[in-house]
Amino acid sequence: MAEEILLRGVIQRWLTRWLGGNDRASWVAIAAVSLAAAGGNLGSGNSPAISAALALVLGLGFGRVSWCRSVEASIAAHAGLNAALAIHEVLARSS
């Protein structure tokens, strides 16, 4: 939740306004924030390149949800994804 508030609610919105506040500016801001977040994933996990690529794709999606809907919607989408992954992990361990 803090990640979405900081990245989407603060940095992405500021960058979008700074770049002109239009739809093109929002895509540039979304891409920049997503690339920065994905870069943070390069040092984590067993497959850092795959993790970073996945973080980039998800970041683009969450960023667009935030721009088109709200930061709350991107928080809900991120929480839903995390819940689905947690359920998958529990089910995978029990079988």
- Averaged over successive runs of 10 residues, the pLDDT of the chain (95 residues) comes to 87 93 91 86 66 87 93 94 93 87
The confidence score (pLDDT) of residue 42 equals: 67
What pLDDT score does 31 carry?
93
Query: What are the two backbone dihedrals, phi and then psi, of residue 93, each rounded to the nearest 5 degrees?
Result: -75, -30
Backbone angles phi, psi at 24, to 5 degrees: -65, -40
Residue 76 lies in domain: 2-94
Task: Round to whole Å and give the CA distance between 51 and 71.
Answer: 23
Which pLDDT belongs to residue 87? Answer: 95
Measure the CA–CA gap between 79 and 82, rounded to whole angstroms.
5
pLDDT for position 91: 93
Tally the domains of the chain: 1
State residue 4's pLDDT score. 87
d(CA 30, CA 89): 29
